[in-house]
Amino acid sequence: MRHGKYPFIIGFLVVPVALYATFVVAAYLQTFQLSLTSWSGLGKIDYIGFDNFVKLWHDETFWKSIKHNLFLLILLPIITIVIALVFAFLLNVGGGHRGGQSRGVWGSKIYRIIFFFPQLLALAIVAVIFGRVFGPDKSGMLNGLFPASWKPWLFLADERYAMACILIVLIWQAVGFYVVLFSAGMGSISDDIYEAAALDGATRVTLFFRITVPLLWSTIQVAWVYLGIAAFDAFALVNIMSVDRGGPNGATSVLSLMIYRNAFDFSQAGYACALGVVLFFLTLTFAALTLRVTRRDSVEA
């Protein structure tokens, strides 16, 4: 066609494609390949068929990790989305209607700025902060706030509550982002709709459930997928915050941590790759299921 088109195309694509192929595509493909080996990370690579997956099936830590990932996968999106939706609604529509315009409550800008900030903090830094917030003696923020007569709570060092602590931190960090995201969505809902509903005598609770939520459905869906992916991760939190990395007694072990520890601490690269493959299919199943289950006839705003 035009003069010099192909040299230009190749020139522009060669570096990004080479980088991507070397560090991403090759790594993913090798994960599948190495999952069928007993490779330790050094020396000879022996193919052992599906032995790694059989081993997985009988691995108690694996099932514990899956359970913990599911715990996060169910609770993190639900709680975060509910809190964020309510706050976004209060910030955008909560102030009632004056002059035909729905308004947020007073100071909604300041709230939004404060709520959003944790999103800018690295999860690793958040993990270090909350490791101290949940400190098991008086130097921890929460135990410091409790009355002096109370026995210190163990939080992360208590098998029963450790996972809940991880969940709380994830929610703490995520809510602000989704408040802003939902606010943007609510901003695009026409005021006429709210006005018409308000004229018909709809209360704010009705407005929330009958107008805001249905019109935001596609954004909520996206939020669900994002939060689900975050629930499959949680590596930084568990690796830094938890007692004994995944402890106590495996109470906070998650798949991402298992992959990391098998690959780098236990010299079981092959097994780590098998876990990676499982994780890949779990993520894919989750994404497909979410899109299926939450599909509704979309309502155009």
Partner 1 sequence: MTLVAEAETPAKKSAGAKPSAKRDINAFTGLAHIALIAWALVTAGPLIWVLLASFKNNTEIFLGKPFALPSSFSLQTYFDAWTEAHIGRYFLNSVIVVIISTAGTMLFGSMAAYVLARYRFPGNRFIYYMFVSGLAFPTFMALAPLFYILKNMGLLGSYTGLVLVYIAYSLPFTVFFLAAFFKSLPYEIEEAATVDGASHTRKFFQIMMPMARSGLVSITIFNIVGQWNQYLLPVVVMTGPGAENRYLLTQGIANISVSAGYHAQWSTLFAALTLSILPMIVVYAIFQRQIQAGLTAGAVK
Q: Which residues ranging from 187 to 216 are in contact with partner 1 (CB under 8 A)?
A: 201, 204
Position 96 contacts partner 1 (CB under 8 A): yes
Residues between 98 and 127 with contacts to partner 1, criterion CB under 8 A: 105-107, 111-125, 127
Site size toward partner 1 (CB under 8 A) is 103
- Under 8 Å CB-to-CB from 232, ≥6 apart: which residues? 69, 72, 73, 255, 256, 279, 282, 283, 286
Position 46 contacts partner 1 (CB under 8 A): no
Closest CA to 254 of 75, 62, 90, 117: 62
State the minimum distance, in angstroms, from the CB of residue 265 to partner 1: 12
Q: 37: which strand partners?
A: 47
User: Applying CB under 8 A, which part among 2-10, 52-60, 72-80, 153-161 lies near partner 1?
Assistant: 2-10
- Output the CA torsion sign for 239, 241, 243, 249: negative
The interface mask with partner 1, positions 165-184, x = CB under 8 A, is -------x--xxx--xx--x
Among 63, 67, 101, 138, binds partner 1 (CB under 8 A): 138
The interface mask with partner 1, positions 275-294, x = CB under 8 A, is xxx-xx--xx--x-------
State the minimum distance, in angstroms, from the CB of residue 67 to partner 1: 18
In angstroms, rounded to a whole number, what is the distance separating the alpha carbons of residues 84 and 208? 13
Position 70 contacts partner 1 (CB under 8 A): no
Among 36, 56, 91, 215, binds partner 1 (CB under 8 A): 91
Pick 150 or 297: Cβ nearer partner 1: 150
State the minimum distance, in angstroms, from the CB of residue 92 to partner 1: 11
In angstroms, rounded to a whole number, what is the distance separating the alpha carbons of residues 119 and 215? 25
State the minimum distance, in angstroms, from the CB of residue 158 to partner 1: 17
Pick 47 or 117: Cβ nearer partner 1: 117
Pick 75 or 236: Cβ nearer partner 1: 236
Residues between 220 and 249 with contacts to partner 1, criterion CB under 8 A: 222-223, 226, 229, 232-233, 235-236, 239-240
- What type of residue sits at position 135? G
Q: 98: which strand partners?
A: 101
Residues between 139 and 168 with contacts to partner 1, criterion CB under 8 A: 139, 141, 143-145, 148
Burial (CB < 10 A; 0-12, 13-18, 19+), residue 265, is exposed
Among 75, 79, 129, 197, binds partner 1 (CB under 8 A): 129
Pick 220 or 251: Cβ nearer partner 1: 220
Position 259 contacts partner 1 (CB under 8 A): yes
Among 36, 73, 85, 133, binds partner 1 (CB under 8 A): 133
